[in-house]
Amino acid sequence: MREEHVVNWDFDVSVIGGGPVGLALATELTARGHTVCVIEQNDRVGVQPRAKTTNVRTMTHMRRWGLAPEMRRRSPLAPEFPRRVRFATGLFGHDIFSFENAFCAAPVRDERFPEHAEFIPQYVVEGILLDHVKAHPRATVRFNTRLEELEQMSGGGVAATVRDLKTRKVERVTARFLVGADGARSSVRKLLGIQMQGLHSLMSFVTLILRVPGLNADPELEPALFHWLVSPEAPCVMGPMDKQDVWFWGMPQRPGREMTDEELLGFVRKAMRKDCEMEILARDPWTVHKLLADRYRDGDVFLAGDACHLHSPFGGHGMNLGIADAVDLGWKLSAALEGWAGADLLDSYETERKPAHRLVIETSTENVAALSDKFLAPGLDDDTAEGADARAVAAKAVEEAKAPEFRSLGVVLGYRYASPQIVTDDEGAPPEFSVTRYTPTAFPGSLAPHAWPDDGSSLYDHFGTGFTLLRLGQAEEAAESELTKAAAALKLPLKLFALRDEAVRELYGADYALVRPDQHVAWRGDRLTAPAALLDRIRGKPVAVETQRAAATT
């Protein structure tokens, strides 16, 4: 039976799934003042030891949430540990090529972003987010609880039927919105009848989590984040995962027969070239897909993270991409809950995020096409001049094929949103996109270019929780008061920040930039001529084309 006009929801938002994406969404929403219930079927977070790369974009969100210091503190790697990806003929074999400062993870200051990437196990990231969410008075986290049914209520809002897996008791949890952040096998997606489109089961892999006592301290070990082992007997990838000599090791699974633990350990030893004592802590089989949900929204229900996009993990994007979904959806749901969202704003979630998902799906599928065995060559491991020549040839091939995987700052920071809420009417052609190169630009839709003002803070630290109007040139303050008044009338949060710095003005290419809550540029220009129309446009109010043009006048 459908319930009529429920107005007293238990929560503003129900989040199904306490993985990194659900917890990031709960973090974003509670920070914006909303009540959230996270429903997780497992009895704890961090069940699967998967991601290791938390990229610079996620780390920037962690900074915004006040969690970057904790991420750094919990990193298993010492600051001086080289953030390199090493290709070699064996763990204790000949070096072929190394990508230094892979994923921009070296702990050095960079003009382009405020936080370097961290190499930290996903279970630690989830633990940090969980501790933060649990401590928040507006958050409720329910473990051992599974979503079974959902119902969109006629008065707006969603009722979730959830089962306590310990007591078997069934309960209804109501919320204004519900988000399925429930991973690859998303129940929310299935209950809504949303299909995944694309290619299923491209390749199968197995990851082992191992304890190899004394390995980190072995004086013959070349330290690296990842060791790609170009070994004819056991082409694979391995690397340090956590403190206390915990390592990961992964290799494609040959179709047909599942290998025993002993067989897999045999491959590990061959790839290492040293007979070390080791113990398997976990075994994690996984499959590469290339899939996107055919829609991300049904009424008041949304999908985020692996629930709506699945791709190869080569390149370290999946969790990071899902956390960016949580940020985009988080501020838009918040705008709807606070009453200043236009009718089209929530639909812009899919319009904006889907192209970013497609980009990652394409590049990460290309990454999986070049595994270690691609670089095998006769004599590669020989201690001879011919062997050295073979390694030099392989090094060139590795750098060419794998740069998009380990130097992918273009993918991480350079994607640009294009939606009716982004004002580009008077802009020329957008700057060219490159997977490996990120060129900061304030072309609307892009991530606001980063800068370090003279006081040592990050420019991003000065952005408000809502929109931020940056005044960068010599523009008159009077024009801004009209925008401030229009924002106040709408109850749209807006902060003004003035920075008289010619270099930053040049970087932004305009006297003003209007930056969204997710740090993307919504509009830039030298004059604020139609503030009310501009705000209507960027908050997703359906507006006529002529009005849109007026709003964009510079």
Binding site for ligand FAD (CB under 6 A): 16-22, 39-42, 50-53, 122, 146-147, 181-184, 187, 207, 286, 305-307, 313, 316-320, 322
- CA Rg, the chain, in Å? 25
Classify burial at 107, counting beta carbons within 10 Å of its beta carbon; exposed 0-12, middle 13-18, buried 19 or more: middle
**Nearest-approach distance from CB 179 to ligand FAD, in angstroms:** 11
CB of 388 to ligand FAD, least distance (A): 33
Q: How far is the CB of 483 from ligand FAD (least distance, A)?
A: 37
Distance CA 240, CA 119 (A): 10
Task: Give the nearer residue to ligand FAD in terms of CB position, either 160 or 551.
Answer: 160
Between 46 and 466, CB nearer to ligand FAD: 46
Residue 339, burial from CB neighbour count under 10 angstroms (0-12, 13-18, 19+): exposed
Closest CB 488 distance from ligand FAD, rounded Å: 37
Q: How far is the CB of 186 from ligand FAD (least distance, A)?
A: 7
Q: For 321, phi and psi rounded to 5 degrees?
A: -65, -40
Distances (CA, A) of 263 to 69, 208, 267, 283: 41, 12, 7, 13
Given a contact cutoff of 8 angstroms between Cβ atoms, the answer to whether 245 and 76 are in contact is no
Closest CB 203 distance from ligand FAD, rounded Å = 12
Nearer to ligand FAD, 87 or 119 (CB): 119
Burial of 218 (0-12, 13-18, 19+ CB in 10 A): middle
Q: Which is nearer to ligand FAD, 41 or 334 (CB)?
A: 41
Q: Among 351, 519, 544, which Cα is nearest to 444's?
A: 519
User: What is d(CA 432, CA 259) in angstroms, rounded to the nearest whole number?
Assistant: 46
Backbone angles phi, psi at 196, to 5 degrees: -95, 130
Residue nearest to ligand FAD (CB): 19
Give the nearer residue to ligand FAD in terms of CB position, either 311 or 391.
311
Choice between 364 and 446, CB closer to ligand FAD: 364
Residues 268/238, Cβ–Cβ less than 8 Å: yes
CB of 297 to ligand FAD, least distance (A): 16
User: Shortest approach of ligand FAD to residue 481 CB, angstroms?
Assistant: 43
| Calpha distance 204→252 (Å, rounded) | 6
Smaller CB distance to ligand FAD: residue 314 or 417? 314
Closer residue to ligand FAD (CB): 361 or 521: 361
